[in-house]
Amino acid sequence: MSASHDEILEYQEKLPSFQSAYECSLNNFKHYYVLTRIYPNDPQYKEKYNDAKKHLAQLANTLFLMNNEVQKRVDVVEAEAGLVDTSVKKRDEKHNVLLDKHKVAYSGVNGSIQMASDFQTLYTNQYVTNISFIIGILLSFGATYVVFRKPSVPQ
- Report pLDDT for 1: 45
Q: Give the list of residues 6+ apart from residue 73 with CB closer than 8 angstroms, or none.
A: 2, 3, 7
Q: How confident is the model at residue 145 (pLDDT cuts 50, 70, 90)?
A: confident
CA distance 89 to 82: 10
Percent residues over pLDDT 70 in the chain = 90
Q: How confident is the model at residue 114 (pLDDT cuts 50, 70, 90)?
A: confident
DSSP code of residue 4: P
112 alpha carbon, distance to own chain's centre: 35
**Which one is predicted more confidently, 7 or 151?**
7
DSSP-assigned states of every residue in 88-101: HHHHHHHHHHHHHH
- Angle, CA of 38, 42 and 43, to the nearest 5°: 135
Q: What mean pLDDT is predicted for residues 123-145?
A: 94
**Sign, CA torsion 104/106/107/109:** positive
- Report pLDDT for 51: 92
Domain chopping of the chain, boundaries? 5-114
Q: Convert the pLDDT of each residue in 59-104 to its tens digit.
A: 889 889 888 988 998 898 899 999 999 999 999 999 999 888 887 7
- Report pLDDT for 113: 75
Give the least confident one: 19-23, 57-61, 78-82, 120-124.
19-23
Cα 143 to Cα 48, 111, 150, distances in angstroms:
139, 47, 12
- Report pLDDT for 134: 96
